[in-house]
Amino acid sequence: MTLIDTHTHIYDPAFDLDREAAVQRALEAGVGMMLMPNVDASTIQPMLETHELFPDCTRVMMGLQPEEVKEDYKSVLALMERELDRNIYIGVGEIGLDFYWDATFEHEQLDAFETQLGWAKQLHLPLSIHCRNAFSFMARILEKHQDGGLHGVMHCFTGSEEEAQVYLDLGFHLGLGGVTTYKNCEVKNFLCNIPLDRIVLETDAPYLSPVPHRGKRNEPAFMADTAKRIAEIYQIPLEELAETTTNNVKSLFKI
């Protein structure tokens, strides 16, 4: 059984003391590949250094995470656009909209998001999209720009069935992580209505640990617990879920 973690930040300082051990635990748990999205300018170097340490089981994406969009976002985007010329990135991410804590930079977030959607189209790369408290904005922008050239993952999807259908109709996959194992997660109630070939798995490590690890630092190895729970919801063997979601990722990210 092989699983792929489509969204992990194992380059984060939270792993500075045991990064190699965490990667080894992931491999032993059946997580054979880990995709790392970027966050901001400061994370590029540690992300690339982590990829250099584990070239066989990691891949990298480039993007500006919405919570990190500040006054200097245009210069940061210029840096990232140049970085994409290196041709080592398998996707544009983590990008998106987040108005949960603060909408101070709403205009800047919208501009940065649309700019990065343009990169994905130009480079024919999939997206890793973050959306929190911004569904109406997100749907409107994706509908505006979707001409068949946008595809990718709605990272950490926790929305309603209606929101899920909007993203599916727009051609996106849903990224399911540890939140899916929580008692109050609505997604469990309609997950069986989502075609299995439209979901991928993720951790968002070091955040959002699944049950029974909730409250601890998350890590890629814990994705096995999320996969087990999702297989139970679909009432299919874990091996079938692993095979299908892994094939989904390989097709989507061309790996």
**pTM exceeding 0.95:** yes
Domain limits for position 246? 3-253
Which CATH number is 24's domain given? 3.20.20.140
Considering only CA atoms, give the Rg of the chain.
Answer: 17
Q: What is the pLDDT along the chain (255 residues), one digit of tens a residue?
A: 899 999 999 999 999 999 999 999 999 999 999 999 999 999 999 999 999 999 999 999 999 999 999 999 999 999 999 999 999 999 999 999 999 888 889 999 999 999 999 999 999 999 999 999 999 999 999 999 999 999 999 999 999 999 999 999 999 999 999 999 999 999 999 999 999 999 999 999 999 999 999 999 999 999 999 999 999 999 999 999 999 999 999 999 999
Query: What's the longest Cα–Cα distance across the chain?
Result: 49
Q: Coil, strand, or helix at residue 3?
A: strand
- Crossing angle of the two packed helices 19-28 and 44-53, in degrees rounded to 10: 60
HSE value, Cβ hemisphere, 13 Å, CA-based, for 26: 26
Bridge-based pairing of strands 127-132 and 89-98 is parallel
SS3 string, 118-183, reads HHHHHHCCCEEEEEECCHHHHHHHHHHHCCCCCCEEECCCCCCHHHHHHHHHCCCEEEECHHHHCC
How many domains is the chain built from? 1
